[in-house]
Amino acid sequence: MFNIAIDQNQPTADFYNDLKSSAVALVDGEPDAIANMANIAALIWQYVPGLNWAGFYRVIDGELVLGPFQGKAACIRIAMGAGVCGAAAATGQVQRVADVHAFPGHIACDADSRSELVVPVTNNGKVIAVLDLDSPLPDHFSAEDEQAMVALIGAISKNLG
């Protein structure tokens, strides 16, 4: 067991710095992408407030396939370009969606989800997976959350695929 303690009451920038350092430490020296995704999903789920789902979809043979996650059981396969996750994977662009009901083609795996942040995971210029964070709160994710998650994923992406 890893002993990780992150102060959730410190300034947001410091919180995210600690979260990123913990993520880097968790995957350090471990080449297995599934094991690493499992630990990163657990880390985010434990410390990031306001989530009802946190996890990964992997790009396999041109579609997204459910990977390690925390939250309710979810859709297993998502076509490239479909929904918020598919848009992130197809474009390589972060999707920060304040109201998922207003997003064309949103896939409602969990009816509780109201806002969503999806960060592409790239390796050698290719999207190999996406990190999907869902919240039951409308407009939950800020630009600071987006930047922090992009930085976190960028720091560990070589160990995710």
User: Which residue ranges make up the site for ligand SME (CB under 6 A)?
Assistant: 53, 74-75, 78, 83-86, 106-107, 109-110, 113, 116, 132, 134
Long-range contacts of 133-138 (CB under 8 A, 24+ apart): 133/44, 133/48, 133/51, 133/53, 133/54, 134/51, 134/52, 134/53, 134/54, 134/71, 134/100, 134/109, 134/110, 135/50, 135/51, 135/52, 136/50, 136/52, 136/112, 137/50, 138/98, 138/99, 138/114
Shortest reach from residue 36's CB to ligand SME, in Å: 19
Residue with smaller CB distance to ligand SME, 22 or 145: 145
Residue with smaller CB distance to ligand SME, 15 or 38: 38
Containing 47, the helix (H) or strand (E) segment is: helix 33-47
Chain mean position to CA 93: 13
Residue with smaller CB distance to ligand SME, 116 or 145: 116
Shortest reach from residue 81's CB to ligand SME, in Å: 10
Residue with smaller CB distance to ligand SME, 79 or 155: 79
Token digits for 97? 């969606």
Shortest reach from residue 84's CB to ligand SME, in Å: 4
Residue with smaller CB distance to ligand SME, 75 or 150: 75
Shortest reach from residue 8's CB to ligand SME, in Å: 23
Q: Which residue is nearest to ligand SME (CB)?
A: 83
For residue 16, give the 3-state DSSP assignment. Answer: helix
Shortest reach from residue 155's CB to ligand SME, in Å: 23
